[in-house]
Structure 1
Amino acid sequence: MMDRRHALGGIVAMFGAQIFAPLARAAGLAPAAAIPVIDQGAPSIQVFTPDQRILMTALCERIIPTTDTPGAIAAGVPAYIEKLLADWAVAEDRGPILSGLAEIDARSRQDYKLPAVKATPEQQDALITLAMNDELPDGEEFFEAFRQMVIVGYYTSEIGITQEREYLPIPGEYNGAFPYSQVNKVYSA
Structure 2
Amino acid sequence: MIDRRGALASVAAMFGTAVFAPIARAAGPAGPVAVPKISDGPPSVAVFTPAQREAVTVLSERVLPTTDTPGAIAAGVPAYIEKLLADWSYPKEREPLIAGLAMLEARSQQDYKVSVAKATAAQQDALLTLAMNDQLPGGNAFFLVFRQLVLTGYFTSEIGMTQEREYLPVPGEYNGAFPYSKVNKVYTA
Under a length normalisation based on structure 1, what TM-score does the superposition of the two structures give? 0.91
**Partner Cα separation in structure 2 for residue 140 and residue 182 of structure 1:** 36
Tell me how far 1:12 sits from its aligned partner.
1.1
Paired residues of 1:134 and 1:140 also in contact (CA < 8 A): yes
Paired residues of 2:9 and 2:27 also in contact (CA < 8 A): yes
Classify 1:88/1:176 alpha carbon distance in 2 versus 1 (closer, same or farther; 3 Å). farther
Report what 2:71 is aligned to: 71
Identity, in percent, stands at 68
**CA displacement 1:152-177 (0-9 Å, x = unmatched):** 11111111111111221444344444
**Partner Cα separation in structure 2 for residue 62 and residue 54 of structure 1:** 13
Opposite residue 162 of structure 1, the aligned amino acid is T
Opposite residue 136 of structure 2, the aligned amino acid is L
Q: Deviating runs (4+, > 4 A) in structure 1?
A: none
Opposite residue 157 of structure 1, the aligned amino acid is S
Tell me how far 1:37 sits from its aligned partner.
4.6
**Partner Cα separation in structure 2 for residue 22 and residue 143 of structure 1:** 16
**Partner Cα separation in structure 2 for residue 29 and residue 36 of structure 1:** 11
Instruction: Choose 169-178 or 141-150, whichever is displaced more.
Output: 169-178
Report what 1:21 is aligned to: 21
**Partner Cα separation in structure 2 for residue 177 and residue 13 of structure 1:** 28
State the Cα RMSD in Å: 1.7
Secondary structure at the residue paired with 1:187? strand
Tell me how far 1:185 sits from its aligned partner.
0.8
Where structure 1 has 5 or more consecutive residues not aligned to the other structure, the ranges are none
**Partner Cα separation in structure 1 for residue 47 and residue 187 of structure 2:** 34
Report what 2:152 is aligned to: 152
Where structure 2 has 5 or more consecutive residues not aligned to the other structure, the ranges are none
Report what 1:120 is aligned to: 120
Paired residues of 1:2 and 1:169 also in contact (CA < 8 A): no
**CA displacement 1:1-41 (0-9 Å, x = unmatched):** 100110110111221211111011111249xxxx9553321
Aligned runs of 1:162-181 on 2, under 5 Å?
162-181=162-181
Paired residues of 1:96 and 1:138 also in contact (CA < 8 A): yes
**CA displacement 1:132-160 (0-9 Å, x = unmatched):** 11111111111000100100111111111
Secondary structure at the residue paired with 2:135? coil
Secondary structure at the residue paired with 2:166? strand
Report what 1:94 is aligned to: 94
**Partner Cα separation in structure 1 for residue 89 and residue 177 of structure 2:** 42
**Partner Cα separation in structure 2 for residue 168 and residue 40 of structure 1:** 26
**Partner Cα separation in structure 1 for residue 86 and residue 122 of structure 2:** 30
Opposite residue 120 of structure 1, the aligned amino acid is T
Paired residues of 1:133 and 1:140 also in contact (CA < 8 A): yes
